[in-house]
Amino acid sequence: MKVKLFLTEAGELSRFTGRFFKQWFRPRYEIAELMRQCYVIGYNSLPLVGLTAFIMGLVLTMQLRPSMVDYGVESQLPAIVGIAIIREIGPVITALIFAGKIGSSIGAELGSMKVTEQIDAMEVSGTNPFKYLVVTRVLAATLMLPVLVLLGDAISLYGSWLGVNIRSTTSFSLFWTQVIDNLSFSDVLPAFIKSYFFGFAVGIIGCYKGYTSSKGTEGVGRSANSAVVVSSVVIFVIDLLAVQVADALGFKLKT
Amino acid sequence: MIAEKEHIAGKETPSPGGNVLVIRNLFKSFGNNHVLADFNLEIQKGESVVVLGKSGSGKSVLIKCIIGLLEPDKGSIEMFGKNIPDLDEQELDEIRAKVGFLFQSNALYDSMTIRENLEFPLRRHWIEVSQDEVNTMVMEALEDVGLEHTVDMMPAELSGGMRKRIALARTLILKPEIILYDEPTTGLDPMTAKGIIELIVEIQKKYNTTSLVISHDMNCVRMASDRVVILVDGRCYASGTFDSLLKNPDPNVKQFFE
Ligand SMILES: Nc1ncnc2c1ncn2[C@@H]1O[C@H](COP(=O)(O)OP(=O)(O)OP(=O)(O)O)[C@@H](O)[C@H]1O
Ligand SMILES: [Mg+2]
């Protein structure tokens, strides 16, 4: 029974995604609304992403230091932290925060628009609600998450530099050189690309849950909630796939 | 099939205004729930028709089919001479610009101010329209419903009756030729309901709109109807003026007038 439910849901979600790909490149283009959504989605999650990224960088550094000292490789701390943040922690933590904030708000907003017939009202007012509401939000989420990840990475590294400086002194430029020297293009690129997929997943799942919600106001809460749960899980699944794909494409994991 | 259609069409005596809306053999079901089964209706220009029906009898489904929000299983819905189920998105939008639709739940956009709510259909249907024109039309529509002072408020700040009137203003802003009202008075106290009905009648006179009103409020039926249609079992069960139906002894009709 659960399996059947899961499969129906997955099928519906794929159909919804198919509808997105059929509609997004066709006129009429909702440029103004897309810009507004980019602002809402990107700018509004910035404080939260910044704060969590900063704490992540700081704490990670402080937690790693004792082991690094034990092994006598304390000088490698910036390099290790840099790789961990850029390759994995930055994109995944940012995406999870993004799912919590944006996924739920998209789910709740579209859900309440659906149950109060606002989506029907838009359709009657000469607007394709799928384009106006769904396409703009999905594109905005897809475009904004990578930007947030980059900013988050930078803030994280800054936090990490502060963490290094708690017990010793390193200038920021030295710290930065150490991080950059140990990163290669093949570390940065897959991480950057996968954050597009994370953004897309959060956008499309939030919209799907909201757009198809039913059963009155109770359904709205459920939509918002399951938007977060499903997109968080999907983020990890994409992460798992991304590492395999990157590996297969020759972006070798460092040993 | 074609011969039959011609036969039916031939029976019509063309009225001076002509038919704005012609519904023939409309069927719509959700799974096993046959909501509309062979529904027929014609509305002439300038006429005001009220559809009476019990809760759950498919009144909302009917007008959602008319505006193209739901796709009927069978049958034709001709509005301004075009069959709604056959139209593509663009043609449908052209028709919808001439049709007002008042939702049962008002469907005001929560995230927008009253001004933005009213501007929405204007901007979406007529892309080339100056800000000055938009402002005048917004204020004019608000004046019609007597709520000019709410222009910069949010829908959540208004009472139920005010929201209904704003929804009405949003419907009026495009000066529609036909307005479909889905239970305009449900959930309002009798006084407010009366105000809304008076407003509807006033609008009918002022703009000479054709209207299709869905209701089970007897005041509304009496005041706003040229003709009443009773929807039972998904079909047009009886039809006539308010007074003629009032005298109808059929129990299915009588139940609405008690
Ligand atoms: N989208 C839908 N999916 C499935 N069933 C639906 C849908 N919309 C309406 N129905 C069913 O169609 C029937 C008629 O619903 P409708 O909303 O038209 O009733 P109504 O006559 O407008 O009632 P009310 O006076 O309470 O508004 C109901 O049994 C309802 O369950
Ligand atoms: Mg209804």
pLDDT in tens, B132-170: 989 999 999 999 888 999 999 999 999 988 999 999 999
Which range has the top average pLDDT, A227-236, A239-248, B15-24?
A227-236
Q: Ligand 1, atom 18: nearest CA belongs to which residue?
A: B58
CA–CA distance, B51 with B215 (Å, rounded to integer): 6
Q: What is the pLDDT of residues A151-180, one digit of tens each?
A: 999 999 999 999 999 888 888 899 999 898
Ligand 1 pocket, mutate which of B36, B60, B105 (most atoms under 8 A from CB): B60
Place of tokens 């979406």: B124
How high is the pLDDT of residue A142? 97
Q: Do B149 and B242 sit in the same domain of this protein?
A: no
SS3 B256: helix
Q: What is the pLDDT of residues B223-236, one digit of tens each?
A: 888 899 999 998 88
Is residue B60 within 6 Å of ligand 1 at its C-beta? yes
B19-30 and B74-79 as β-strands: parallel, antiparallel, unpaired? antiparallel
How high is the pLDDT of residue A169? 85
In the reported structure, the alpha carbon of residue A246 is separated from the centroid of ligand 1 by a whole-number distance in angstroms of 51
Considering only alpha carbons, which residue of chain A is nearest residue B111?
A109
- Indicate the residue among B156, B175, B194 that finishes a domain: B175
Q: What is the pLDDT of residues A115-129, one digit of tens each?
A: 999 999 999 998 999
- Number of independent structural domains in chain B: 2
**ipTM value of the model?**
0.86
Whether residue B107 and residue A118 make contact (CB cut-off 8 A), yes or no, is yes
- Indicate the residue among B116, B150, B175 that finishes a domain: B175
Q: Do B170 and B207 sit in the same domain of this protein?
A: no
Q: Enumerate residues with CB within 5 Å of ligand 2 (an ion).
A: B 60, 104
Q: Do B118 and B161 sit in the same domain of this protein?
A: yes
Q: Do B13 and B141 sit in the same domain of this protein?
A: no
pTM score of the predicted model: 0.88
Among B71, B104, B116, B120, most A C-beta atoms within 10 A, so best to mutate, is B120
Q: Do B71 and B147 sit in the same domain of this protein?
A: no
CA–CA distance, B129 with B123 (Å, rounded to integer): 7
- Indicate the residue among B175, B197, B215 that finishes a domain: B175
CA–CA distance, A252 with B154 (Å, rounded to integer): 55
Question: Is residue B3's pLDDT more than 50?
Answer: no
How far are the Cα atoms of A113, A119, A158, B111, B211 from residue B235, in angstroms, in the given order?
A: 31, 28, 71, 39, 20
CA–CA distance, B201 with B204 (Å, rounded to integer): 5
Q: Do B88 and B122 sit in the same domain of this protein?
A: no
**Which DSSP category does A252 fall into?**
P
Measured between CA atoms, how close is A3 to chain B, in angstroms? Answer: 24
Confidence of residue A252 (pLDDT cuts 50, 70, 90): low
Tell me, what CATH number does B61's domain have? 3.40.50.300
Is residue B215 within 6 Å of ligand 1 at its C-beta? no
Q: Do B111 and B77 sit in the same domain of this protein?
A: no
B61 CA closest ligand 1 atom index: 18
SS3 B146: coil
Q: Do B111 and B185 sit in the same domain of this protein?
A: no
Question: Is residue A10's pLDDT more than 80?
Answer: yes
Q: Which structural domain range is residue B128 located in?
A: 106-175
Measured between CA atoms, how close is A214 to chain B, in angstroms? Answer: 15
Q: Do B168 and B234 sit in the same domain of this protein?
A: no
Q: Do B140 and B255 sit in the same domain of this protein?
A: no
CA–CA distance, A105 with B191 (Å, rounded to integer): 38
SS3 B33: strand
Q: Do B56 and B93 sit in the same domain of this protein?
A: yes
Q: Is A127 on the interface with B (CB under 8 A)?
A: yes
Q: Do B240 and B253 sit in the same domain of this protein?
A: yes
B53 CA closest ligand 1 atom index: 21
Q: What is the pLDDT of residues B93-107, one digit of tens each?
A: 889 999 999 998 899
**Which DSSP category does B158 fall into?**
S
Please work out, in degrees rounded to the nearest 5, the angle formed at the alpha carbon of residue B186 by the alpha carbons of B184 and B187.
130
Dihedral over Cα of B201, B206, B212, B213: its sign: negative
Whether residue A116 and residue B111 make contact (CB cut-off 8 A), yes or no, is no
